[in-house]
Amino acid sequence: MSSEISNSSDTNINEYYDDDQPTNRRIRLLSLHLNPPLEHHHHHQQLQVEACSGRAKMNVNAEKLTGYLRGKHRDVQEKVFEYFNSRPDLQTPIEILKDDYRELCMRQLVGLVREAGIRPFRYVVEDPSMYFAIIEAVGSVDMSLGIKLGVQYSLWGGSVLNLGTKKHRDKYFEGIDNLEYLGCFAMTELHHGSNVQGIQTIATFDPVTDEFIITTPNDGAIKWWIGNAAVHGKFATVFAKLMLPTNGVVTDMGVHAFVVPIRDLKTHKTLPGVEINDCGHKVGLNGVDNGALRFRDVRIPRDNLLNRFGDVSRDGTYTSPLPTVNKRFAATLGELVGGRVGLAYSSVGVLKIAATIAIRYSLLRQQFGPPKKPEISILDYQSQQHKLMPMLASTYAFHFATVNLIEKYAQMKKTHDEQLIADVHALSAGLKSYVTSYTAKSLSICREACGGHGYAAVNRFGSLRNDHDIFQTFEGDNTVLLQQVAGDLLKQYQEKFSGGTLTVTWNYLRESMNTYLSQPNPVTARWESEDHLRNPKFQLDAFRYRTSRLLQSVAVRLRKHSKTLGSFGAWNRCLNHLLTLAESHIETVILENFIEAVNRCPDASSRGALKLVCDLYALNRIWNDIGTYRNVDYVAPNKAKAIHKLADYLSFQVKNIAKELVDAFDLPDHVTRAPIGKQSLGEAYTEYTQYVGF
């Protein structure tokens, strides 16, 4: 097998040009490949190699679409981009050693805050949408920098603001804001990640000295993967079990958070009792200094307990506004949900960059063509459209869904409404899981779609893929988060049948339980006109029907299996079913948000483009799960065929405006930083050849 890497992922259609085959066969095959037949129009056009079939190309004003997408925080994102573009010394090179990368990342963060004057910390609580806009822009410049900034302000800073009280904010706010108090978020342990209640680090109150003693009782309790710990951190928010001695008996009060100094503020030397080691080189994000922490009876003042949800008085009395360990634990983790919101939003930012590079290259790259005709763009091939156009549609869908999530989160932080808190908790878990998993898969597809040139490090797919990969794990493993979504759906299902109320995101289940589970209408199951298939009501009904049926069937299965296996065994027996249910629900929420965004768009041309993209998102998802709809006769065979053909045709239509759609993301070349993804397609090869030395 040759070790040479082909410079294209282009479909090999040499056989179409074999001189032994009839010319008309060659033209017909290529025509069908380029332009899907339009049976769903109830008329048939003769496809021509030279001409696009179907309707005229839609006119899209990319600038107006950008204005709608970027929203009110465009200016601060531009400020981030311009600052790093003006500082070549702070731009991350293709090749850099781990230790050098960590120091560069620290300089980038200091420059952003102290030179550019961008102070994200004040927005964490006051204006979350501004904070997440900064996070997205910074992550677009360098993902390691985005994560390091998030550790400092979302995790370390956010834990102080959200889990502490006024005394903590007064003491630490300024130092966190100006980077004097660089900090860590020490939750994960060697033996425990997702199961936070199982962590083993302990914090024992000593009533004699009025201190807590932080102890790592065994190797399994070593805090692991702690960002900022290996090199730069001076403090850590340490999650530990609060052990309270009373009358000679030590009581476990559950997991609490404590501010623990780990390095001297002046000398930066590790403090007594604290042992810090480096987690070493990682698959990606090597600008972040992840470390491991062991505590050997480290004493801290009683005031270092972040005491919003539980406090210990001088005499050792424990008080809490919440009555049980589980409620305190839920409240503590609920306050940390902003990390998931930020990851979901940032993941969309990564997907925008990757889709932009891959689509611009696919418009530039030309391979093969009809006999004695010029070569054609590889995006003219239906196979390339199939890879990239549904992905582009999903990128838009995810954008609007995560923007809506941020708005809900900001509202939650202002109102502290319990119903909204529950809604945001489940929605952030579902979107973080679904979006990051989709982006991870899409990064590999983009790399493959760009062939050999996609394998060049300078074109960024490798670093994007490696840096983003861990998004599927931190802030909650994706499989675990989907189970939380499924659990919430089942809870809502049970409350519905016992007369309870449903939260905002789940409202459609009230209707669907009564409507969508009835036998499919044999007439509508066969409707196949384009108007019907592109009707948002049909699309939403289909999504909701699937979710409702999955919910009802898994509830029945759980009841059945719990009789013999118990609740835990039944859940495990139905686990794949539960994950499918959660994904179906999240896809429904995404579609709802997309349809609302289309309807809200003030510019007619942008609204038309978004409607086209939204229809592709919806019909592509329906087709991907067509077996579910066919199994219950929700969709008749002829309708399934019509959905498939229309989805292919919509991909073709989206291809015609693909350049405008990615241009609307408004990512300048100094942000995408990939020669093959230049906005001016004619400059791409020139910059690429110059990069390698010609």
Pairwise CA distance, residues 256 & 310, whole Å:
8
Nearest to 189 by CA among 302, 295, 332: 295
In the annotation, is 335 catalytic?
Answer: no
Residue type, 525: A
Pairwise CA distance, residues 337 & 344, whole Å:
11
Pairwise CA distance, residues 588 & 575, whole Å:
20
DSSP 259-279: EEE-B-TTT-PBPTTEEEEE-
CA distance from start to end of the chain: 29
* Contact assessment for residue 655 and residue 379, using Cβ atoms and an 8 Å cutoff: yes
Nearest to 662 by CA among 368, 404, 379: 379
Nearest to 256 by CA among 197, 213, 314: 197
The SS3 assignment for 293 reads strand
Tokens 């904010």, residue located: 169
Q: How many residues comprise the chain?
A: 694
> Which helix (H) or strand (E) covers residue 237, if one does?
strand 235-246
Q: Which two tokens stand for residue 604?
A: 């007619």
Pairwise CA distance, residues 512 & 545, whole Å:
7
Which of these is catalytic: 136, 189, 475, 660? 475
Nearest to 398 by CA among 359, 439, 447, 441: 439
| Reduced 3-state DSSP string for 140-181 | HHCHHHHHHHHHHHHHHHHHHHHHCCHHHHHHHHHHHHCCCC
Nearest to 291 by CA among 348, 203, 225, 197: 225
How far is C-alpha 164 from the chain's CA centre? 28
Nearest to 104 by CA among 365, 289, 321, 342: 289
CA atoms within 13 A on the CB side of 517: 14
Nearest to 275 by CA among 230, 232, 212, 227: 230
Pairwise CA distance, residues 580 & 570, whole Å:
16
Backbone φ and ψ of 30, nearest 5° = -65, -40
* Contact assessment for residue 359 and residue 446, using Cβ atoms and an 8 Å cutoff: no
Nearest to 542 by CA among 612, 464, 640, 445: 640
R_g of the chain, CA atoms, integer Å: 27
Tokens 């009358």, residue located: 247
* Contact assessment for residue 430 and residue 482, using Cβ atoms and an 8 Å cutoff: yes
Backbone φ and ψ of 602, nearest 5° = -80, -25
Residues acting as catalytic residues = 475
